[in-house]
Amino acid sequence: MSVTRYTNDHEWVRQDADVAVIGITDYAQQQLGDVVYVELPDIGRQLEQGKEAAIVESAKAASELYAPVSGEVVAVNETILGNPALVNEDAMGEGWFIKLRLADPKQLDALMDETSYQAFVAEQG
């Protein structure tokens, strides 16, 4: 089973061999409210860790999704383009955003594990 890592911007990343699946956390989607629009990067685009990777808009606000790791976009979730509410329904599963071919898998080591992330969220209030 692959391990999920988290950023303090509330993105999650799950490694599957040399590919990383990326999305926003349940906490993030709850804060956003009803997701109404998602903009995803083009396949083949190189993403840099910490830089904007996608845009998610809700009834409340528009937010950027930042790449938790660097790599090349190898897939995007076409389903959420037509049904952005899926992000609210299953943010940690079917509501994923991007799949990247990892440039440096060691970048995952610097991200939070589940326990650390839950403690971080608890501190958010």
Residue 109: Cβ-neighbour burial (10 angstroms; 0-12, 13-18, 19+): exposed
pLDDT mean over 18-22? 95
pLDDT mean over 2-27? 94
In this prediction, residue 124 carries a pLDDT of: 84
In this prediction, residue 76 carries a pLDDT of: 98
Phi-psi region for residue 33, left (φ > 0), alpha (ψ -120 to 50) or beta? Answer: left
Q: Is residue 111 part of a domain?
A: no
Q: What is the mean pLDDT of the chain?
A: 95
Q: Is residue 21 part of a domain?
A: yes
CA-to-CA distance for 56 and 64, rounded, in angstroms? 6
Write phi, then psi, for 113 (nearest 5 degrees). Answer: -85, 180
Q: Is residue 87 part of a domain?
A: yes
CA-to-CA distance for 104 and 19, rounded, in angstroms? 11
Q: Which of 107, 101, 106 is nearest to 44 (CA)?
A: 101
Q: pTM above 0.85?
A: yes
User: If pLDDT is split at 50, 70 and 90, which confidence band does 3 have?
Assistant: confident
Given a cut of 60, is residue 72 above it in pLDDT?
Answer: yes
Strand-pair partners of 20: 15, 100
What is the number of domains present in the chain?
1
Given a cut of 60, is residue 1 above it in pLDDT?
Answer: no
| CATH code of 75's domain | 2.40.50.100
- Containing structural domain, residue 41: 4-104
